[in-house]
Amino acid sequence: MQEKYIDETKQGEAFAIAERPENGKKLFLESYGCQMNFSDSEIVASILNEQGYNTTLKVEEADLILLNTCSIREKAEQTVRMRLSQFKKQKESNPNLTVGVLGCMAERLKTKFLEEEHLVDLVVGPDAYRDLPNLLKETEGGRDAINVILSKEETYADINPVRLGGNGVTAFVTITRGCDNMCTFCVVPFTRGRERSRDPHSIVNECVELFNNGYKEVTLLGQNVDSYLWYGGGPKKDFAKASEMQKATAVNFSNLLAMVATAVPDMRIRFSTSNPQDMSLDVFHTMAKYDNICKYVHLPVQSGSDNMLKAMNRQHTRAEYLSLINEAKKIVPEVAFSQDMIIGFCGETEEDHQDTLSLMREVEYDYGYMFVYSERPGTPAHKKMEDDIPADIKQKRLAEVIALQGELSRSRMKSYVGRTHDILIEGTSKKNENQWKGRNSQNAVCVFDKLEGQKIGDMVSVFVYDNTQGTLLGRTAE
> In the complex, which residues of this chain contact ligand F3S (CB under 6 A)?
179, 181, 183, 186, 188-189, 223-224, 275
Q: Which of residues 67-126 bind ligand SAH (CB under 6 A)?
A: 72-73
d(CA 193, CA 190): 6
Whichever of 1 and 259 has its CB closer to ligand F3S, that residue is 1
Omega before 273 within 30 of 0, i.e. cis = yes
**In this chain, which residue has its C-beta nearest to ligand SAH?**
340
If phi > 0 it is left, if psi is from -120 to 50 it is alpha, else beta; for residue 195 that is: beta
Residue 273 as a binder of ligand SAH (CB under 6 A): the answer is yes
Q: Does residue 297 bind ligand SAH (CB under 6 A)?
A: no
How many other CB atoms are found less than 10 A from the CB of residue 351?
A: 9
Residue 224 Cβ, how far from ligand F3S at the closest point, in Å?
5
DSSP 60-75: GG-SEEEEEE--SSHH
By CB under 6 A, the residues from 173 to 192 that bind ligand SAH are: 185-186, 188
Does residue 373 bind ligand SAH (CB under 6 A)? yes
List the single partner that 354 binds among ligand F3S, ligand SAH, none, CB under 5 to 8 Å by kind.
none
Instruction: Provide the minimum distance between the beta carbon of 275 and ligand SAH in the complex, in angstroms, as a whole number.
Output: 4
List C-alpha distances in Å: 361 to 33, 183, 303, 322, 407.
28, 24, 13, 11, 10
In 3-state terms the chain splits into helix, strand, coil percentages (rounded to 5) of: 40, 20, 40
CB of 331 to ligand SAH, least distance (A): 21
Shorter beta-carbon distance to ligand SAH: residue 72 or 148: 72
Query: How many Å apart are CA 102 and CA 70, to the nearest integer?
Result: 9
Q: Does 340 bind ligand SAH (CB under 6 A)?
A: yes
The one of ligand F3S, ligand SAH, none whose footprint includes residue 373, by CB under 5 to 8 A per kind, is: ligand SAH
Contacts of 151 (CB under 8 A, 6+ apart): 127, 128, 193, 196
CA torsion sign, 359 to 361 to 367 to 369?
A: positive
Q: Which is nearer to ligand F3S, 36 or 84 (CB)?
A: 36
CB of 321 to ligand SAH, least distance (A): 12
Is position 337 an interface residue for ligand SAH (rule: CB under 6 A)? no
What is the DSSP code (8-state) at residue 469?
A: S
Task: Give residues in contact with ligand SAH (CB under 6 A).
Answer: 4, 72-73, 185-186, 188, 223-224, 273, 275, 300, 302, 340, 342, 371, 373-374, 376
